[in-house]
Structure 1
């Protein structure tokens, strides 16, 4: 982007107030031109002071409204296979390598269908089936296929899956049975990944994403902020996600789980989380940016409002995989109060 001199706004006393150059450039390049910020520019945004948080969030909201519109996509998630995962993702209480208290369990197909029905009643257009695995085996693939078929027969909702790393044959099978979106998070910046996971690589995750995109399924890929990454790595992560051109990016914030290697990390500061939300919006102006896990702990009710007015345009309603979320009614009431319509199913087809 071309560097522009700082603009001036009027402060409360009527005197001109100088705005940081990065916000001026972002207004011209992202808001007006639809071109996402570069990694270096995202760093500038993440380094803005607290006094610039309000104008930053306002700009991010304007970008969201211009390039995504006012509608909010609502999604529910359900765990088909919980706990006992062989991987060592340091944030996850479902790993079988840690002393965290999540026990292994499977959900049957009728329970999947009922969960999809309850999700659809909230106005959600998306229902994601999640399994705690490195990648699906034959048993899991068979149960997913049966579950997707049963949901499609009884519930008017889009079905997504998050089943770990896939083979090409598994990608093709999921696409064939009508899974319309696949979630596989990169979790963090490539340079920070080996501090978060050691049992598989960032490149292995990236390969699954490549196959999913080439198969024609929508790509959902995000991660977790607040896992000890630097500001520079946070910006690196935003740039690496933007390069994938994902349809959706879930914004998770670390909720430290007892018994995991990250169980003693501090919760991310709310203002830093809001800065990150806005920065990711400015890096990916056309992407669905979804409020996901940890937002309740990191941001609270006020922060949820600020996030929805700072670039977020999708939410997961209800509980997450192993932690409680906000009641679905709270999120739906907030959307109604903010006059943000829920995206209709027809708009996602």
Structure 2
């Protein structure tokens, strides 16, 4: 089949992250099974408008919001050629592909953005965005198959009116770490990994560092990733008096990312919302447990509470859970072993197979 993925970004984009990595894993899986796969996404500085990688063709056009109109128009007027199936990747907003093609449409959605709209786009824009996501999109795709990554997101979609029997779950896999694991740091380190945007709430990780600074004078927070919220986070670290103990690494390559995760005593994920949390498994490969908010949704499945990490409800509980891991070596080792076992059980091959079956149907 000729399959088109419509996605806001790809992994090469400066704001690309775990959801984009998931999309490309599914696209590669389809290409490996003999399908002709194209990923349509936004243009960014230094990117090629048309290139092929790992058997998947990438066609880029438009910027952050213009990409939606560009992809819709190109699909409507046949610029992508004959298309047998479309995967509409909804990162808050759909591409309205049901109005642009007669081909079957599969909706791929990592999580619902109810909590994120007012944080990232306060005011009218956020209200309109939530209306589109919560009311217009479920109506427009009322006959389409949905795919999501967790039971938590499936339930959110059901709450928005999507039929449960049209929602399939295809979990994230875990990619092998590049090379041998780096040694654990001799002194305590926390690691936060992801885009630096408000809803990732990295401020909570900085607050945890500040609250534990006196009892753990050697504690350091490594922040890997970048984004438009970085200056705010830098200022927050200065206000809390820990600017010299927060290491902002910016975007890092795969080897550096895994080194930081291996050195860390605990991975902190204070995100407001996560469909799954790809970095949980990446940290788990190195026996590094995760502390996260249960209310984030997908974390309730990517983290096995008190087995591969700890799920909490409040910032105070977040700090307490991190402190317990830092101060109790046996507890830290127990959670680390559980994190490693869970990470090693997650297979991208199995996820690709399941996704391919859904698209074929």
Q: Same fold (TM over 0.5)?
A: no
- Specify the TM-score bucket, using the shorter chain as the normaliser: 0.3 to 0.5
Q: Higher relative CO (CA 8 A, sep ≥ 6), structure 1 or 2?
A: 1
TM-score normalised over the length of structure 2:
0.35
